[in-house]
Amino acid sequence: MKAKLYLSVLFCLFAALAFGQGRTVSGRVVADSAHEALAGVTVTVKGTRRSAQTGADGRYSIEVPDKGAVLVFSSASYNRQEVPVGSKSTVDVTLSTNATVLNDVVVIGYQTVRRKDLLASVSSVSARDLKDIPINSAAEALNGRLAGVTATTAEGSPDAQVRIRVRGGMSINQDNTPLYVIDGVIVENGLSTISPQDIQSIDVLKDAAATAIYGARGANGVVVITTKSGKPGRTVVSLNAFWGIRKLARKLDVLNPYDYVFYQSERSRGSSTDSTTFTNNFGHSWDTLDVYRNIGSVDWQDKVFGRTGGMQTYNLTVGGGGNKGTFNFGGTYNKEKAIVINSNFERYLFNAKGDYKITNRIKLGVGGRYSQQDVEGAGVSSDQGTAYNRLRNAVRYRPFTSGLQTEEDADPLADPNVGNGLNLVNPLILARSEYRKKSTEAYNINATLTVNLLKNLVFRSAFGYDRNNVIDRQFSDSNTNYAIVQGGRKPVAQLDTTSRTIYNNSNVLTYSLKGIGKKHDFDFLLGQEIYLEEGDRRNSLYRNYPTYTPYNTAFKETGMAQYFDGYPRRYRYETAIASFFGRVSYGYKDKYLFSANLRADGTSKFDQPKQWGYFPSASVAWRMSKEKFMKEVRFISDMKVRFGYGKIGNSRITDYRYLANYSTNGTYYYGINGSTVYATFPPALENPELMWESTVNRNLGFDISFFRNRLSLSVDIYNNSSDHLLLDVPIAPTYGYTSQLQNVGKTSNKGVEFQLNGTVAQGRNFSWTANFNIATNKGRIVALGPGQSQTFAAPSWGVSGQPTDYLLRIGQPVGTIYGLVTDGFYTTADFNYNYTNGTYTLKPGVVNSGPVIGTVQPGSIRFKDINGDGKVDLDNDRTIIGNANPKFTGGLNQQFTYKNWDASVFVNFSVGNDVYNANKIELTNGYANNANMLDIMADRWKVVLPNGQTAQWVNGTTVYGIPPDQLERLNANATIWQPLKGTGAFYPHSWAIEDGSFLRLNNVTIGYSLPQFSIGRMKISRLRFYFTGNNLAILTSYTGYDPEVSVRNNPVTPGLDYSAYPKSRSYIFGLNAQF
């Protein structure tokens, strides 16, 4: 009530001013981009001290002299403009954006500084950059827009994890996620719990000069998020709503019904006669297979994830305030029907922020956020291996219906009680029979007290509380192969609950001395921080439910089931960090700048002698544009060179590894007479000597702007080296363990970044701005521990016993893919043929791939013999076959305005990275019968003649077949090998490593703002309609769904494409309204 009364009084005061004595001129100020109202613009009568400011609706009113008045319009983020008044009583103005001083204030560690005074490498995205992009995750907006910052979406699901990496990350196998700070308070997963429409700015701190003040948590970069605040003036209500559809952007081509059955017949040939099994399965002999040429094909990909998805988002914000305080409230609702059937996404987000001036010296800021997110649907299970995933079912299931079977019936040719070799289930039945719902609730409360103790001496205390709860329910009924294989054809359920709570308090003193002797500027900062994190995870896995138990009953009545062995499980942890930090900054004549930081962190993650780490940094800058010799170079607005050096740490490791942790998770000992005796023992060997991972960062930067800041360029060159990286080191078996976690790893990381921003054209009715960035990063492993030159890692996507497919080797980067080198396939020229008994034997001197694939025959895949011993084996002939790290990444964003029209076009690119297309290996093998394959296998080496006679077969280890000339004529057009059938079918080889380079037309938006005269009577200050297309086109040679993929949340196995949720293309219509 008081707030309403206060706003009413404030409105009356403005009205009284508007009707004062003298000649009055009024008008409205808008931005050149989309004609958005500009608040806080200073309007001055030139040559006088008379001034006014625009309100939240961009309107102003000011008294002017009768003759010769000139109004000056100025704002920190826009170019100054002078307008003669003449005899006009209304002066409306459009201000153009100043490309360099946009977001003039940048948030760094516990302080804000002018962008022009930055001594560190910082990239930023502002609300202006986000406002025209209808997205539900701010993380999506970062990809390709900031040099040195990548935001990779793991797959295409609505809740897909977006992995942000700053300069590639430094740790080998620990977490490389950056630190998130929202409104001065440290939080986890900051971009996932806040609406993009509530964000004022995102500043990404990239080098030690900026991140060392965060000490142990700054090694991976820091993402500083500032939310929107209210502005003094009348209450402003803003609505952003959009609706859209999603479509599958790309599908995989598979064998048609005839080619599929042809191969199944071919696969069944173990001798020169037709297989009885094949005839029984398909109801046809070779003579009648032509029936499948005309049978209707079923596109299971289209059935499972080819539907048209729908989305809707509504964001409403209310902001305002007065001289004593401001407020801003925001609410967002997202709902999406995903492209995968039976999968949906729904989310509620609320944000509140207020600032209140208690006295002239004391200010209180409070804020809160709440989010509730529900994701329904089992997706395609990209987090699992070859045994269970929906993508594989959609591609490998037979491409037609059999007999009386409809598209939604069980397969009448499959044994309903036995899980088949590939666990294939009718994809539509699988979608009905699997249920998954993941619910995430997060809430955050923060408060900041700012006290001006003395002139230039400020105390700031910030408190944050962050809580996150996740409930993940998964259910598989008796129709699924998971239930058949794991649950004895009884339903199986899994219930995971996770909670995390963070308490954070920082207390900071700052003292500033400006203009001492008109030459010297000093800033001092001293602070202390306490951080406490508590976590609790419970995991339960149930089986043997009654056969027809529905999913909703399964989670309510868990007593009717039994636990799997080793369940339930529970894991709890508590982490505490105490910190002290300080900063000293000095400037001489705004020309020579210096800053130094020091932070001490103590954490409970390590034993007492190793708990404390110390992280210093220093940086210097020289503003050359202030030198006398630059005065005549008038086209240069500002020019600065800077250098930073510092040490930062990484404490994102598993808790309690310095202690002996005891576990009962599924472990047991077979005691006397074979009885099972459950045991409790440490699953890993403790190491009390564990300490911080640390990184030394060196950064040389250059910033220059031209033509009154219309064009600006930033260049950064960095060289980082990391030490004491945590790795599992092999140890003697006498310890009772095979390895121990130790601080033995070292890496180096070098790169160059370019960021170019400019106003290409600026006219009365037209403007064109562009932002371009490109970055390169090259990392390598320097050390892996005493006597250790290499080790291996596996993303675990294939069958058991599959060899590891990622290599960690000194001198190579993390993300090196390891395997066999594909060398085409064998032909009859590689064999001697015995015309007497019709057998083929490999010629002497021809490389034998048999140790890997089994008996070699014409048409078999061939691998290169790396060590030259005449045969191919896994121990001696695997080598580096790919690198998941790109050579270059970047993007180009262009924005245009013409009168009331606006448009933006954004493209991003990646060059030189390899993608490990594991789908390609699985979807071209013959490991199990009745499985479909990619259509490239229609041109494989064939072993059946047109008349149905078997042309080639293996009996034991002997290869039989028709004469070579006939076999070559049969396969004259063959371009690929016979599908592999054994476990070697899953071995990684270079054919599956593809160039993942791409150029993506990421976003195109066209908008129109209605003229003010047409909406003013409706009390609407702005109304804009727009149309957006996302992921409209991609230029790439990659043959999978999308080259921008990485499905394993493991830093040592990036770039894997296996059963990823396919990415979609979206078309969106929306509106922005302001009242």
Strand-pair partners of 1066: 246, 1030
* 939-961 burial code (b ≥16 CB/10 A, e <16): ebbbbbeeeeebbbbbeeeebbb
Q: What 3-state class would DSSP assign to 265?
A: helix
> Is residue 63, in this structure, part of any structural domain at all?
yes
The percentage of residues in the chain with a pLDDT greater than 90, rounded to a whole number, is 40
Query: What span, in angstroms and rounded, lies between the C-alpha atoms of 534 and 399?
Result: 50
Higher pLDDT, residue 717 or 343: 717
Amino acid 207: pLDDT: 86
Per residue in 977-1017, pLDDT (tens digit) is 999 877 677 889 999 999 999 999 999 999 998 887 788 77
Query: What span, in angstroms and rounded, lies between the C-alpha atoms of 468 and 471?
Result: 10
Per residue in 653-681, pLDDT (tens digit) is 777 787 777 766 544 545 555 555 566 77
Q: Is the pLDDT of residue 781 over 90?
A: yes
> Is residue 702, in this structure, part of any structural domain at all?
no
Q: What 3-state class would DSSP assign to 459?
A: strand
Pair of tokens at residue 815:
């993300």
Q: Residues 777-784: what's their mean pLDDT?
A: 93
Higher pLDDT, residue 377 or 460: 460
Q: At which residue do the structure tokens 């202006």 appear?
A: 128
Pair of tokens at residue 540:
């339960």
Render 600-656 in DSSP notation, one character per residue. Answer: EEEETTS-GGG-EEEEEEEEEEEEGGGSGGGTT-TTEEEEEEEEEEEEEEE--S-TT
Query: What span, in angstroms and rounded, lies between the C-alpha atoms of 895 and 961?
Result: 66
Could you tell me which of 737, 739, 726 has the C-alpha nearest to residue 783? 726
Q: Which of 333-342, 483-492, 695-704, 767-776 has the lowest mean pLDDT?
A: 483-492
Strand-pair partners of 96: none
Query: What span, in angstroms and rounded, lies between the C-alpha atoms of 406 and 484?
Result: 22
Pair of tokens at residue 57:
């609706």
Per residue in 478-528, pLDDT (tens digit) is 877 778 777 677 899 999 999 999 999 999 999 999 888 888 999 999 999
Give CA angle at 167 (163, 168), nearest 5°.
Answer: 55
Q: Which residue type occupies 333?
A: Y
Per residue in 222-242, pLDDT (tens digit) is 888 888 888 887 888 999 999
Could you tell me which of 336, 364, 333, 332 has the C-alpha nearest to residue 351? 332
Q: Is the pLDDT of residue 303 over 80?
A: yes
Query: What span, in angstroms and rounded, lies between the C-alpha atoms of 561 and 540?
Result: 11
- CATH number, domain at 52? 2.60.40.4130
Amino acid 19: pLDDT: 35
Per residue in 709-742, pLDDT (tens digit) is 889 999 999 999 999 998 888 888 877 788 888 9
CB 513 within 8 A of CB 505: no
Per residue in 87-109, pLDDT (tens digit) is 888 888 888 765 444 346 677 77
- Torsion angle (degrees, nearest 10) of CA 656, 657, 661, 663: 110
Q: Residues 972-980: what's their mean pLDDT?
A: 93
Q: Which of 208-217, 401-410, 638-647, 1057-1066 has the lowest mean pLDDT?
A: 401-410
Task: Identify the band that residue 417 occupies on the pLDDT scale cut at 50, 70 and 90.
Answer: very low
Element (H, E) at 520: strand 520-543
Angstrom distances, CA of residue 58 to CA of 179, 234, 451, 815:
37, 11, 32, 52
- Collect all residues with Cβ–Cβ distance below 8 Å to 37 and sequence separation of at least 6: 28, 29, 30, 31, 54, 56, 57, 58, 59, 1021, 1022, 1074
CB 951 within 8 A of CB 944: yes
Strands across the sheet containing 993-995: 993-995, 914-917, 1056-1057
> Is residue 49, in this structure, part of any structural domain at all?
yes
Supply the mean pLDDT for the chain: 84
Query: What span, in angstroms and rounded, lies between the C-alpha atoms of 462 and 490?
Result: 53
Query: What span, in angstroms and rounded, lies between the C-alpha atoms of 745 and 172?
Result: 8
Task: Identify the band that residue 187 occupies on the pLDDT scale cut at 50, 70 and 90.
Answer: confident
Task: Identify the band that residue 407 occupies on the pLDDT scale cut at 50, 70 and 90.
Answer: low
Query: What span, in angstroms and rounded, lies between the C-alpha atoms of 806 and 985?
Result: 18
Q: Residues 355-370: what's their mean pLDDT?
A: 92
- Collect all residues with Cβ–Cβ distance below 8 Å to 505 and sequence separation of at least 6: 461, 462, 463, 464, 529, 530
Give CA angle at 98 (95, 103), nearest 5°.
Answer: 110
Q: What 3-state class would DSSP assign to 79?
A: strand
Query: What span, in angstroms and rounded, lies between the C-alpha atoms of 81 and 10?
Result: 29
Could you tell me which of 191, 182, 185, 258 has the C-alpha nearest to residue 225? 182
- Collect all residues with Cβ–Cβ distance below 8 Å to 1001 and sequence separation of at least 6: 905, 907, 1031, 1032, 1033, 1034
Task: Identify the band that residue 212 occupies on the pLDDT scale cut at 50, 70 and 90.
Answer: confident
> Is residue 52, in this structure, part of any structural domain at all?
yes
Q: What 3-state class would DSSP assign to 880?
A: strand
CB 817 within 8 A of CB 883: yes
Amino acid 410: pLDDT: 56
Query: What span, in angstroms and rounded, lies between the C-alpha atoms of 545 and 644?
Result: 62
Amino acid 671: pLDDT: 52
CB 473 within 8 A of CB 542: no
Higher pLDDT, residue 657 or 379: 657
Amino acid 505: pLDDT: 94
Q: Is the pLDDT of residue 793 over 80?
A: yes
Per residue in 568-626, pLDDT (tens digit) is 888 888 999 999 999 999 999 889 999 999 999 999 988 888 889 899 999 999 999 88
Task: Identify the band that residue 831 occupies on the pLDDT scale cut at 50, 70 and 90.
Answer: very high
Per residue in 345-360, pLDDT (tens digit) is 999 999 999 999 999 8
Pair of tokens at residue 980:
């592999």
Strand-pair partners of 593: 587, 621
Pair of tokens at residue 715:
């260049």
Amino acid 525: pLDDT: 94
Higher pLDDT, residue 1017 or 1072: 1072
Number of domains, the chain:
1
Tell the burial category of 437 from Cβ atoms under 10 Å away from its Cβ (0-12, 13-18, 19+). Answer: middle
Amino acid 353: pLDDT: 92
Per residue in 845-875, pLDDT (tens digit) is 999 999 999 999 999 999 999 999 999 999 9
Task: Identify the band that residue 189 occupies on the pLDDT scale cut at 50, 70 and 90.
Answer: confident
> Is residue 77, in this structure, part of any structural domain at all?
yes
**What is the reported pTM?**
0.84
Per residue in 132-169, pLDDT (tens digit) is 678 777 777 788 888 888 887 767 777 777 788 888 87
Per residue in 685-704, pLDDT (tens digit) is 888 888 888 899 999 999 99
3-state helix, strand, coil in the chain (%, to 5): 15, 45, 35
> Is residue 765, in this structure, part of any structural domain at all?
no
Phi–psi pair at 254, nearest 5 degrees: -120, 170
Find the DSSP H helices in 65-174: 127-130, 138-142
Amino acid 643: pLDDT: 95
The domain containing residue 84 runs over which residues?
A: 2-95
> Is residue 156, in this structure, part of any structural domain at all?
no
CB 242 within 8 A of CB 1071: yes
Higher pLDDT, residue 126 or 277: 126
- Collect all residues with Cβ–Cβ distance below 8 Å to 741 and sequence separation of at least 6: 657, 684, 687, 690, 726, 727, 728, 729
> Is residue 39, in this structure, part of any structural domain at all?
yes
Q: Is the pLDDT of residue 10 over 50?
A: no
Higher pLDDT, residue 956 or 936: 936
Q: Which residue type occupies 469?
A: N
Could you tell me which of 121, 151, 118 has the C-alpha nearest to residue 137? 151
Per residue in 30-82, pLDDT (tens digit) is 876 556 777 778 888 887 767 787 876 788 888 888 777 889 888 756 777 88
